[in-house]
């Protein structure tokens, strides 16, 4: 009798955690449907796709209660918001910190729309649907709010049953305010996170602008057209000579 492979032996000894018999379908073996942990097969839901929350009045937990740990059925609802353009490790680290603020955390992430972002902060590289989707695939996130408000109102906080708002502690001046989170801090709902130095969306855009010639030449070599890159025919010839 031929010896069984190590993978076959492993599967014969132990059923997979998701309850299957360990036999992968062809698509799953070769990447069409990745093997992954239960609960990570799909992106997290949008808030407006979820069933309405319990109609009972929502009672916030205190910081002491949240730090001590709440029952499994009553996670601490933490909200973090942002633009999340060119989603990078600085964004991910901030969300990781927000998720790990308390032993039992449900992390809700708000992402501002294009219209709101362009009005208050400037043009983005990724459009709102791309930015929403990037956050939906971050492992630390439990729920995503599309078209998130620039300033958090009591009505918004109540609607999403938010206990705490997570953000770095540097005053965020915008929309005519010295700090858009000032009222959150005064209400005792602010939970600070730390910024990751050396990485930001502006830093990434600066690198691209600084090395513009390198990236144009690279993309021309990869088959992009001068029209797609907004480069004139004369400049295409110059890049080809570099």
3 is a domain residue: no
Co-location of 107 and 207 in the same domain: no
Residue-wise pLDDT for 122-180, tens only, equals 999 999 999 999 999 999 999 999 999 999 999 999 999 999 999 999 888 876 788 89
Residue-wise pLDDT for 28-66, tens only, equals 333 443 444 445 778 999 999 998 766 677 899 999 999
**Can you give the CATH number for the domain in which 107 is found?**
3.40.50.620
Residue-wise pLDDT for 178-197, tens only, equals 889 999 999 999 999 999 99
Co-location of 74 and 192 in the same domain: yes
146 is a domain residue: yes
Co-location of 145 and 213 in the same domain: no
Helix residue ranges per DSSP H, the chain: 6-13, 26-29, 63-68, 89-99, 114-120, 128-136, 154-159, 182-186, 201-210, 212-221, 226-229, 233-241
Residue 133, C-beta contacts closer than 8 angstroms, at least 6 positions apart: 43
92 within 8 A of 138, measured Cβ to Cβ: yes
44 is a domain residue: no
Residue-wise pLDDT for 78-103, tens only, equals 999 999 999 999 999 999 999 999 99
Identify the pLDDT of residue 133.
Answer: 97
Co-location of 215 and 183 in the same domain: no
14 is a domain residue: no
pLDDT of residue 234 exceeding 80, the answer is no
Co-location of 105 and 179 in the same domain: yes
34 is a domain residue: no
In which band, very low, low, confident or very high, does the pLDDT at 233 lie, cut at 50, 70 and 90?
low
DSSP state of 232: -
The total domain count for the chain is 2
Residues β-bridged to residue 110: 81, 145
Opening angle at CA 65, ends 64 and 69, nearest 5: 115
d(CA 128, CA 163): 26
Co-location of 173 and 227 in the same domain: no
Structural domain span for residue 71: 63-197
Q: Which two structure tokens, joined as six digits, stand for 177?
A: 């305010």
Co-location of 122 and 219 in the same domain: no
């Amino acid at each position: 009798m031929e010896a069984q492979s190590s993978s076959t032996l492993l599967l014969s000894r132990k059923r997979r955690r998701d309850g299957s018999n360990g036999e992968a379908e062809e698509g799953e073996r070769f990447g069409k449907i990745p093997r992954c942990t239960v609960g990570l097969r799909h992106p997290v839901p949008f808030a407006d796709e979820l069933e309405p929350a319990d109609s009972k009045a929502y009672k916030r937990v205190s910081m002491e209660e949240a730090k001590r740990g709440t029952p499994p059925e009553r996670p601490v609802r933490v909200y973090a918001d942002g633009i999340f353009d060119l989603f990078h490790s600085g964004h991910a680290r901030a969300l990781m910190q927000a998720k790990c603020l308390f032993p039992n955390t449900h992390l809700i992430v708000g992402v501002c729309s294009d219209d709101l972002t362009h009005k208050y902060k400037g043009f983005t590289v990724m459009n709102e649907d791309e930015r929403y989707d990037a956050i939906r695939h971050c492992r630390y996130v439990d729920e995503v709010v599309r078209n998130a408000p620039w300033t958090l109102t009591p009505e918004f906080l109540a609607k999403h049953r938010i206990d705490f708002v997570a953000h770095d502690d540097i005053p965020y001046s915008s929309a005519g305010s010295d700090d858009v989170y000032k009222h959150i801090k005064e209400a005792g709902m602010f939970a600070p996170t730390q910024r990751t130095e050396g990485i930001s969306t502006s830093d990434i855009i600066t690198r691209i602008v600084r090395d513009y010639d390198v990236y144009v030449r690279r993309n021309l070599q990869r088959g992009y057209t001068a029209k797609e890159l907004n480069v004139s025919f004369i400049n295409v010839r110059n890049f080809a000579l570099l």
